[in-house]
Amino acid sequence: MAIIGIDLGTTNSACGILTDDGVKLVPNRLGVTLTPSVVGLDEIGKLVVGKTAKERLINHSDTTVAAFKRLMGTDHKIKLGRQQFSATELSSVVLRSLKEDAEAFLNKEITEAVISVPAYFNDNQRQATKQAGELAGLKVERLINEPTAAAIAYGLHDKREGNFLILDLGGGTFDVSILEFFDGIMEVHASAGDNYLGGEDFVEAMIDSVLEELKLKKSSLKPRELQNLYMQMETAKRRISQQAGQLLKLNLSGREVEWKVTSEWFEKLSTPLLLRAKRPIERAMRDADLPSAKIDEVVLVGGSTRLALFRSMVGRMFGRLPSCHLDPDTVVALGAAIQAGLKEKNSALDDIVLTDVCPYTLGTGIVNEDSPQLGSYFLPIIERNTVVPVSIVRSVCTARDNQTEVCVDIYQGENRLVKKNVCLGELTVPVPKKPKGEEVVDIRYSYDMNGLLEVDVTVLSTGKTFNKLVEFTPGALSERDKAAALEKLAQLKFHPREEEENRALVARGERLYEASLGEQRDYISKLLANFDRILERQNPVKIGKVRAELNKIFDQLDSEDWI
């Protein structure tokens, strides 16, 4: 049974498989390896995923959603039409689409996967990702940190021994990992990052600047106007390195505005975001106790690392050009596929011993006798950047006379006050009545390679041990919720694979039609009407020929500034 590796990204997702001939990326139903992480419902309630859904973001913004990965591990609900979905459910739809693509490509059933997650994902987010895989019909064999997957894809383990810095700036998250390779072991020394920093934030800064200058608010724009503005700014961001000045025609609040995008303007907007990116890099270097001179290679991963400003910042920090010769959009999927091959013990791969670290400090709350009004103190049990798997025990005693129970709060974070950290759950255990401080309990935290936490509390006087696997966290699904989600998702059907190319093309044409005026709008309308007539004749050869011609025309229209 083949195990696939999946990169579930904020902007795009991809999957791959390790074969005897090396790693192969799986083409989706449109024949490309990148699937936009966008989900929607069409007019008849069927699911649209990927490029087709992305093309509908403007025209059908009330039934289409993107960038939901940022909501993983929360209980936030996203409304699509009359239905509501969690980020876990929407992610499962993307994973289900990738699973079906892999099954069509390999001509066999796929039931297992290795899924990548940002290194700085907390326990809630990792649990949500694992559950998304299960809802998609996948047994999640392993969660692998994205920078670690990228390092494997780059073959750093095949190079000389040394220290490597992986910088992963995607659409919605930024990860930093420092790895060392020696004696066949790839060891992660430190991880840091920002779960709310990515390419989307650069676009957001551009939009905020435009609206502030024009004295407009997002709430005053129609959903279609706002979505169109996002797409234009995204396109401008991608072109900023090649075009010194871009003149955009923006339709905002019923009026047409010309806006010039210059490199100076973009650099000014980007400076605060680049400063945010520097902080986790410096923090990881401090945690690993490594000066920049000891870093042998800096590797860039994630589509947003294509930004010249980001590459320039990294170059200045380390005094050298970073490595970026692999496609930053697919390198994580390649590494996940290799890790999946490791799990399957593929004969084409020599064993690599892979270690990882706990990205956050895990601990519990203890009584604050100094300043009770501030709340409990945080007692660290597993410090951040401890190599995993790991199991550490700390002892605490009762805080009151005749105490009958001890409540062990489970927290994650770096603040000395528990209320400023993330609560993952609690475990309450009974203890015999004794004077304050005489009853002792051992608290053991065990953290595994998937970033999942198990807590054991032992009452020393009775010898009884109580256990909790942290899983009922915000955004996580109980068994009852999971069954309900499976039933809801089972009722939502995908369109047949063979229709997907045509649907994506029509959605693209409709988006271009909405963005154009006058003669261009009439021209696109005629092209779409002609394609509708060709589809009705059901001649596959003719449909394929006209589809190819239309794609060329739409490519030309998409390259023009009026979009």
Catalytic residues: 7, 69, 146, 168
Residue 260, number of CB atoms within 10 A of its CB: 9
Instruction: Extract the tokens encoding 74.
Output: 């929360």
Instruction: Extract the tokens encoding 511.
Output: 């988006």
CA angle 250, 13, 341 (to 5 degrees): 165
Contacts for 192 with CB less than 8 Å, ≥ 6 apart: 120, 175, 176, 280, 281, 283, 284, 287, 359
**DSSP code at position 417:** B
The neighbouring-strand residues paired with 180 are 163, 187
| Contact of 531 with 506, CB cutoff 8 Å | yes
Cα torsion at 363, 369, 373, 374 (round to 10°)? -30
- For residue 496, is the peptide bond before it cis, meaning its omega torsion is within 30 degrees of 0? no
The neighbouring-strand residues paired with 481 are none
Contacts for 389 with CB less than 8 Å, ≥ 6 apart: 446, 447, 448, 449
Contacts for 391 with CB less than 8 Å, ≥ 6 apart: 444, 445, 446, 447
- Backbone torsions φ then ψ of 399, nearest 5 degrees: -105, -5
Helix (H, G, I), strand (E, B) or coil at 323: strand
CA distances from 424 to 5, 61, 112, 471 (A): 28, 34, 27, 8
Which H or E run includes 40?
A: strand 38-41
Instruction: Extract the tokens encoding 469.
Output: 């696997």
